[in-house]
Each structure stands twice: as structure tokens, then as C-alpha cells.
């Protein structure tokens, strides 16, 4: 007895309506849908709420990533810094460029003081008058190294140019201490200018030298013009001070602040170096390397190609190299200590490229490709969307039943077709007795047989395709046994169903003339069938198959033909499907 499932129509609640709207919106934005052979809900891809949710998460992730990238553009936090160190042969004049120094690039303060604790020294020494014992000189030394010795036997010629110094009112650029704290320091004049060039081992080179000498009258008068001081040239007193003489060198240094965009990125810092004379027999000399640094700035956030003109800046850095002690051959030698500044053979090139809007778009595009590929992999490639598709189809078309329930459940398709067609299809299902196939062979054989039949067709005149598809779907019955892979089995059958539907969709539609010809062909087939002749069927491959058919009255004995399991009966069913145009051609007009 057929069990008809009736559905009561009730007005959907506001919550269910809103939920359906959300579900449709999620499905509409699904970017990782599983491709289907036919169209599913008007689309070439099966779309689900799960795929829509993943797509929504992907879209939000891209928007958040792009927002962070744009924030990095305006905050300039992702600037690209490249540093290249270039070594040059300083002895080659064509490769060595002189480094020009002035008060803005080279500035210092030097202080000499006695730090001993000898009471006898303090009886005659006043720290405020230290300049009467020692003087500070700033000179540029020019050294020429010859390939052959000079007449006097020396291969080097040394000359020097003195630069004026003064007592520090303040240190430039930028005052780092009050005048009271640095009034005892000696600094270069504001018009200071010098250059460093070459190597000391070959050719012509220029050094910069700060040296502490015994007091010189001209320097003392220049530093203290308003005082009637004279140098104290008492060697014993000078030697007593030199034993514990401290020299403080306050040296300006510059560095590149890569995060500075509003003002100059070159910043200034000062560092103090402390040295001691310590010995009357040795002359302490400290060497510093002077490195040239060039900066190339591309600071336009629009584009480095069409933005602001590139700015080029240059500055020098000073680093201590080593110190040495030179033996004094003459204890009356005037120099107490020295600081030599040599040009370094390494040159640093620094390029700062600001993170631009175009870089943000490019980075976001790369992130989108990676994220899209990853989401596509986990959503579509591993079969999640495909399984959702077949789960939807199986839930709609597959009938599951418990193992213990041996009674075959029947279901109407009234929800899928209009009422007259559904009645016809249900009656057709009962009359065709498709259930009888189950007792002869597995359902898979029936599906394969129907599939093989449809594959041989060139034209299909089914105006009621639902009938044929329904007959196939009736074969997809699975037992709900956990020991059996129900989903896999149903999925395989559903794939066959989709394949059949795809073939039907691709068949040429029959026009009016073809319908007339097929009608004539059907009448001829009926005549031959009554006479028991051999009927030739045209196949898509071009081959011909001859099947002997018993004399059958198609209109009166249609049901017996369908129930016939012989090859002859199956061939007639296949041919009837080929020429079918309406239920009156099946002899079902009165059903």
C-alpha cells in the first residue's frame, strides 16, 4: 500500500525567514563552490552556507589585512632599509674621493685635568690654570709617501696645517651641556674646514690630528685674551702633572634614524673618551676611523617612481680603532698625547624605501592568492564541498531504511512535480514494477543497464524527463547499516544519476519535423514487432545491433514488455525510451 506523505502548509516564522535569508546570502558569496556537471540553483557550482561562511571569513581577513597594510603605509612602519658596504682602494686617486669636514660634520671638545692626589702638587697647582701648562692643537697632516727615498734618506714628507681652536661656549650642532659644564673644554672654530683623503702607506694622504702639547704662548693668549697669563714652562712641574694627567675627549658622532620622516633622519650624539698620559717615556696615540655614509631616501607614500624626488644625504661616523705608545727619544718633546683621524676604506650606502600604497595593494594581492589557495584547498580540494553536494542530493533523492525493516517504503514525488504528473509517475512506478529487478540482480546492475541504454541514444524525445530520472532514482536505495559505507555507496549511484542527466541535457532537442519522423518510425517498429521481424537500432557509435523481438502488441501488453527480463524486452524498453513523446505513445492514455 502506497504511503503518501502530506505536508501541511504553514506560515513561516520571522526567525526562519531571517535564517533563510542569511543562508541564501552566505551561499551567494561562496567562492569555493564545487563544480557540477549541470546547473545547480542556476549556477555552475554548488554553493553552500559552509562555503559562504568560509568565503566571508576570507573576505574579512583580506579587508583586515589591507587595513593593516594601509596603516603601515601612513605610519611608515614597513620601510625597506638596505645597507651596502663598499670597499675602496684609498691609494688610487681615481677611486678615492676626499671627505670634506666642517663644524657640522666634525665637532669635539677636549679637556685636560690633573686627577692625582699628591699633596705637594696642589701646593703650587691650580686646576683653573691648567692651560698655562698644556695647550690643545688641531692640525691637518699632509703625508706624501715616495717610491724612492729623498736625499735625506726619508721616504715620507710630513707637513701640517693648524686650525684655530677656542674655549667652548657650547658645542655645535646642538647644545648638550650648560656653559658652566663645558667652559673648560677646547673646541674648533666655527669656520673649521678640512678634508680626509688617501692612505698613509702610499701616495698623498690627509689626516686630522688633535694633540696635547706643552703650553704654547700664542694659543694661551688666543684662548684667554683678557688674562695676563704666561706659560709655565717648568719641566719638573709639567712632568709631575703628566704622571696623572687625564684627557677627556667629547666627540660628536652622527647616526641614521630610520624611523624619522618629519625632520632630518640624521641625528647627533656625543660620546666621551677618557685617556691618561701616564708615562714620561711613551707618547700615547689613539687612532679613529672616519667612515663616509651616504643615504638615499625614497619617502613618497604614493609611489617611489612618480613620488617626491629622491633625497641624498651624507654624514661621517667616527669609531676608535686602536691605540699605541710611541717611545719618546727626547723627554723634552712637546707633544703629550695625540688623536689621529684616518679615512676608512669602507664606505656605507644606505637606501630607505618607504612602503607605498602600491606596495600595500601588491602585498594584499599576494595575501589574497595565498589565502584563496589555502581556503580552496581545505574547502574544495579535499572534498568538503563535494561531500556537501552529494549529501544534499542524497537527502533529497535517496531513501534510507533500517536493516530490520524489510518492508519497502514508498514515497511520492508530489513535492517535486505538479500533481497530475506525480500521479502519473507513481502509477508508472507501480505498473513498471521496477522493484522486481531487485530480486534478480543488485541495484548497481540496474543502474548500469539504464545508463548503458541512455548512452546509445542520439536524440531523446522525452518531454517528461522526470519519469525517466525517477525510475533511475528508485534504484538508489541504501540500507542504514553502520557496517556499510552508506554515504560512499549512495554517492556512487548519485554520480551515475548526474552523468545520465548531463547526457540528457546535451542531447539535441527534437524539432517538429523530427517528431513526425520519430512517430512514423515508432509505427513501423510496432508493425515489425507484431510480425516478429528483426529490428535494427541505430547507436551513437555507428554500430548496429540486431535483436529478435517476439510479436507483441505494444499498446495492449506494455506492462508485460516492461516486466520481461529477457534481452528482447530490455531492447524494446530502450527503443520506447528513445521514441517516447508522451504517455499516450506508451499506451498509458487511460492510466
The more confident residue out of 148 and 432 is 148
Where in the chain are the domains? 83-354, 398-586
pLDDT in tens, 549-565: 333 333 344 445 455 55
pLDDT in tens, 411-466: 333 333 333 433 433 443 343 333 333 333 344 454 555 555 555 544 444 433 44
Is it the case that residue 240 has pLDDT exceeding 80?
yes
H or E element, residue 25: helix 14-28
Of all residues in the chain, what percent carry a pLDDT higher than 90?
11
Of all residues in the chain, what percent carry a pLDDT higher than 70?
54
Q: How confident is the model at residue 576 (pLDDT cuts 50, 70, 90)?
A: low
Q: Are 229 and 217 in contact (CB under 8 A)?
A: no
Distance of CA 587 to the CA centre of its chain: 68
Find the largest Cα–Cα distance for the chain: 152
The more confident residue out of 333 and 459 is 333
The whole-number pLDDT of residue 209 equals 92
Mean pLDDT of 515-529: 53
pTM of the model: 0.54
Burial class (CB in 10 A: 0-12, 13-18, 19+), 391: middle
Q: How confident is the model at residue 293 (pLDDT cuts 50, 70, 90)?
A: very high
The whole-number pLDDT of residue 585 equals 40
Q: For residue 102, which phi and psi values (nearest 5 degrees)?
A: -145, -170
Is it the case that residue 110 has pLDDT exceeding 60?
yes
pLDDT in tens, 317-330: 999 998 888 776 65
CA gap 117, 249 in Å, rounded? 22
Is it the case that residue 273 has pLDDT exceeding 80?
yes
Residues 6 or more apart whose Cβ sits within 8 Å of residue 358: 302, 303
The residue written with cell numbers 674655549 in the block is 167
Phi-psi bin for 141: left (phi > 0), alpha (psi -120 to 50), beta? beta
Q: Are 29 and 54 in contact (CB under 8 A)?
A: no
pLDDT in tens, 474-493: 444 444 444 555 566 666 66
Neighbours of 133 (CB within 10 A): 23
pLDDT in tens, 3-29: 443 444 455 666 677 777 787 777 777
Q: Which residues pair with 248 in a beta bridge?
A: 111, 274
CA gap 75, 315 in Å, rounded? 26
Q: Are 499 and 37 in contact (CB under 8 A)?
A: yes
CA gap 182, 192 in Å, rounded? 19
Q: Are 181 and 306 in contact (CB under 8 A)?
A: no
The whole-number pLDDT of residue 134 equals 92
Is it the case that residue 304 has pLDDT exceeding 70?
no
Q: What is the mean pLDDT of the chain?
A: 69
Highest-confidence range of 88-102, 510-524, 545-559, by mean pLDDT? 88-102
Distance of CA 502 to the CA centre of its chain: 41
C-alpha distance from residue 95 to each of 90, 126, 350 (Å): 7, 51, 19
Amino acid at each position: 500500500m502506497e504511503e503518501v506523505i502530506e505536508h501541511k502548509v504553514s506560515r513561516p516564522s520571522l526567525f526562519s525567514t531571517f535564517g533563510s535569508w542569511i543562508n541564501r546570502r552566505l551561499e551567494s558569496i561562496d567562492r569555493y563552490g564545487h563544480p557540477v556537471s549541470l546547473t545547480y540553483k542556476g549556477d555552475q557550482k554548488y554553493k553552500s552556507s559552509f562555503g559562504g561562511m568560509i568565503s566571508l571569513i576570507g573576505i574579512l581577513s583580506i579587508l583586515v589585512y589591507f587595513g593593516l597594510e594601509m596603516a603601515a603605509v601612513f605610519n611608515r612602519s614597513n620601510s625597506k632599509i638596505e645597507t651596502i658596504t663598499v670597499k675602496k682602494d684609498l691609494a688610487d686617486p681615481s677611486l678615492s674621493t676626499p671627505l670634506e669636514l666642517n663644524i657640522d660634520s666634525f665637532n669635539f671638545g677636549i679637556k685636560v685635568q690633573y686627577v692625582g692626589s699628591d699633596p705637594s702638587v696642589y701646593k703650587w697647582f691650580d686646576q683653573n690654570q691648567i692651560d698655562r701648562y698644556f695647550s690643545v692643537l688641531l692640525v691637518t697632516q699632509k703625508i706624501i709617501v715616495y717610491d724612492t727615498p729623498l736625499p735625506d734618506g726619508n721616504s715620507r714628507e710630513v707637513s701640517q696645517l693648524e686650525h684655530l681652536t677656542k674655549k667652548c661656549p657650547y658645542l655645535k650642532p646642538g647644545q648638550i651641556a650648560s656653559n658652566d659644564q663645558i667652559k673648560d673644554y677646547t673646541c674648533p672654530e666655527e669656520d673649521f674646514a678640512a678634508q680626509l683623503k688617501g692612505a698613509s702607506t702610499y701616495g698623498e694622504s690627509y689626516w686630522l690630528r688633535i694633540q696635547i702639547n706643552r703650553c704654547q704662548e700664542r694659543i694661551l693668549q688666543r684662548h684667554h685674551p683678557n688674562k695676563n697669563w704666561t706659560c709655565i714652562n717648568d719641566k719638573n712641574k709639567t712632568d709631575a702633572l703628566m704622571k696623572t694627567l687625564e684627557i677627556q675627549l667629547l666627540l660628536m658622532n652622527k647616526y641614521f634614524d630610520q624611523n624619522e620622516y618629519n625632520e632630518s633622519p640624521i641625528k647627533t650624539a656625543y660620546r666621551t673618551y677618557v685617556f691618561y698620559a701616564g708615562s714620561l717615556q711613551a707618547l700615547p696615540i689613539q687612532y679613529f676611523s672616519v667612515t663616509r655614509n651616504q643615504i638615499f631616501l625614497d619617502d613618497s607614500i604614493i609611489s617611489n617612481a612618480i613620488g617626491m624626488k629622491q633625497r641624498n644625504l651624507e654624514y661621517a661616523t667616527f669609531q676608535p680603532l686602536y691605540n699605541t705608545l710611541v717611545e719618546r727619544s727626547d723627554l723634552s718633546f712637546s707633544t703629550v698625547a695625540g688623536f689621529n683621524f684616518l679615512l676608512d676604506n669602507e664606505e656605507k650606502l644606505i637606501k630607505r624605501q618607504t612602503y607605498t600604497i602600491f606596495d600595500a595593494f601588491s602585498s594584499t594581492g599576494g595575501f589574497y592568492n595565498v589565502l584563496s589557495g589555502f581556503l580552496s584547498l581545505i574547502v574544495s580540494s579535499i572534498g568538503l564541498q563535494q561531500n556537501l553536494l552529494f549529501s544534499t542530493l542524497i537527502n533529497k533523492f535517496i531513501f534510507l531504511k533500517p536493516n530490520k525493516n524489510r518492508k519497502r517504503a514508498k514515497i511520492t514525488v508530489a513535492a517535486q512535480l505538479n500533481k497530475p504528473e506525480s500521479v502519473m509517475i507513481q502509477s508508472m512506478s507501480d505498473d513498471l514494477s521496477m522493484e522486481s529487478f531487485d530480486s534478480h540482480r543488485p541495484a548497481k546492475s540496474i543502474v548500469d543497464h539504464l545508463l548503458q541504454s541512455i548512452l546509445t541514444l542520439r536524440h531523446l524525445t522525452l518531454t517528461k524527463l522526470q519519469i525517466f530520472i525517477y525510475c533511475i532514482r528508485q534504484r538508489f536505495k541504501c540500507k542504514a547499516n553502520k557496517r556499510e559505507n552508506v554515504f560512499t555507496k549512495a554517492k556512487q549511484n548519485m554520480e551515475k544519476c548526474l552523468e545520465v542527466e548531463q547526457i540528457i541535457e546535451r542531447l539535441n532537442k527534437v524539432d517538429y519535423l523530427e517528431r513526425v519522423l520519430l512517430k512514423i518510425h515508432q509505427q513501423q517498429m510496432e508493425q515489425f514487432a507484431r510480425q516478429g521481424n528483426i529490428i535494427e537500432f541505430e547507436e551513437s557509435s555507428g554500430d548496429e545491433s540486431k535483436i529478435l523481438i517476439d510479436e507483441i502488441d505494444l499498446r495492449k501488453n506494455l506492462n508485460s514488455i516492461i516486466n520481461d527480463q529477457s534481452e528482447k524486452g530490455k531492447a524494446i524498453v530502450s527503443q520506447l525510451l528513445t521514441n517516447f513523446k508522451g504517455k499516450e505513445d506508451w499506451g498509458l492514455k487511460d492510466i
